[in-house]
Amino acid sequence: MLLSTHLIYNARSGINEKEVDSLEIYLQQAAQRAKESKQYLDIVVRDWSDYRNCGSEAAERYLEKQAKILRRQNISSAVIEALESPNTKCFLMPHPGKEIACSDTGMVKDMDTDFQESLRSYINDLLERPKYPAMTGAQMAKMMEVTVNHIQSLKYNISSPQEMSNYMKNCEEKQKTYKEFQQFCSSLSFLQLPGTMWKCISEKSSELVEKFEGSFKGNNADMRTDLVGQLREELKKEGEKFYSDYKSKGLNYAQNALALWVVYGWFR
């Protein structure tokens, strides 16, 4: 759900609280990826009671009804807007039939004809939508394997999709903060005394760590301690590396500049 640009809900009759919570997480990720690609949401309603009325008009009425129900429950306005978005579609699927329910193979021929028609219509709709760079199943599996292995290596537990979302956001913010520190260091003038240079580096590092801690998402104390500690150590190493380069290159530059200034003043 956190990786995809296309979320499909297999709903029974209505959109329940668990699905609403998952949708809110998906929408948060969608907002971050909005500039890269569109986000699609499909509400696929299974075992629709009126098999004779499974068309687009009935599906639109279903979405309108669900939006009204959720609006009365004071659900997040972002969820309501998502249901009313042109990128959200609803498909009403009749019961697939008794034959396939008892089948060991699950072949298409075992499905009732009306279900086959609805399924074919849905698949055709998916294929006709705008194409974006896609991942194969093997690529997705590899990405998931790397992600799961990384999560399992953490010193703390991630117990919900929301915590996973928070973790991803915090890691992105940490990387952004690290790059900001690199840019700050590269903007410093070498025409400074060592004490002044180190003070600038140290103060900026402390400022960025404090800023990151203040922007931290979620209430997982172990995650906060770990990521803040990682950032503090990364900035410390980057600052020390820059300071070392400054002492070896910057002081020579400053001495040469001073020598030129003295010579210039002498001839004047």
pLDDT one-digit tens code per residue, 69-127: 888 887 778 788 888 888 888 888 888 888 887 877 778 888 888 888 888 888 888 87
Indicate the pTM of the whole model.
0.57
Q: What is the 3-state secondary structure (H, E, C) of 133-188?
A: CCCCHHHHHHHHHHHHHHHHCCCCCCCCHHHHHHHHHHHHHHHHHHHHHHHHHHHC
So what's the pLDDT on residue 133?
62
Phi and psi angles of residue 89, each rounded to the nearest 5 degrees, phi first:
-130, 155
Q: Is the pLDDT of residue 212 over 90?
A: yes
Would you say domain 6-134 falls under CATH 3.40.50.300? yes
Would you say domain 159-267 falls under CATH 1.20.58? yes
Q: Is the pLDDT of residue 151 over 70?
A: yes
Q: What is the DSSP secondary structure assignment for residue 218, as one 8-state letter?
A: S
Alpha helices in the chain (DSSP H): 17-33, 56-72, 77-83, 98-102, 113-128, 137-152, 161-187, 194-214, 221-245, 251-267
13/235 Cα distance (integer angstroms): 52
Which residues lie below 8 Å from residue 145, measured CB to CB, with a gap of 6+?
Answer: none
Distance between the two ends of the chain, CA-based, in angstroms? 72
Q: Is the pLDDT of residue 267 over 50?
A: no
Check residues 218 and 18 and name the one with the higher pLDDT.
218
Per-residue pLDDT reduced to its tens digit, 233-243: 999 999 999 99
- Listed by start position, the domains of the chain span 6-134, 159-267
The pLDDT mean for the chain works out to 81
How many residues are recorded in the chain? 268
